[in-house]
Amino acid sequence: NAGVTQTPKFRILKIGQSMTLQCTQDMNHNYMYWYRQDPGMGLKLIYYSVGAGITDKGEVPNGYNVSRSTTEDFPLRLELAAPSQTSVYFCASRRFSGGSSTDTQYFGPGTRLTVL
């Protein structure tokens, strides 16, 4: 199993450009997540999905969009890139085992995005 894969690893955008960060997992996990990580700020949840066709906002959703058409894929879309979106983005997945608070989240290696 490859686990959680993310592409690209690095990207530089100009202000106002758009891009899609790709995330794929091969563990048949129902839950998937997008986080951003800024220096000294831990991980902040952008969006999450509990299954194909279902998405919900996290703590910092403004400026982003997501879709979940398949179990495996959970792309994150930036429509009008702004310098404030410079960050490292992590995708994660988890098999929700019904009422358990002990499930493991598996993270991808991250995408480092710079907006200039």
Give the residues lining the site for other proteins (CB under 8 A): 4, 31, 33, 35, 40-45, 48, 50, 56, 58-59, 90, 92, 96, 99-102, 104-105, 107-110
Question: Alpha carbon of 75 to those of 39, 99, 107: distances in Å?
Answer: 23, 27, 14
Nearer to other proteins, 62 or 102 (CB): 102
Whole-number Å distance between alpha carbons of 87 and 113: 6
Decide if 94 contacts 73 (C-beta within 8 A).
no
Question: Alpha carbon of 48 to those of 11, 32, 85: distances in Å?
Answer: 22, 6, 18
Q: Which residues pair with 90 in a beta bridge?
A: 35
Whole-number Å distance between alpha carbons of 71 and 29: 7
Nearer to other proteins, 78 or 94 (CB): 94
Least distance in angstroms from the C-beta of 67 to other proteins: 18
Nearer to other proteins, 2 or 41 (CB): 41
Nearer to other proteins, 19 or 43 (CB): 43
Least distance in angstroms from the C-beta of 16 to other proteins: 28
Least distance in angstroms from the C-beta of 80 to other proteins: 26
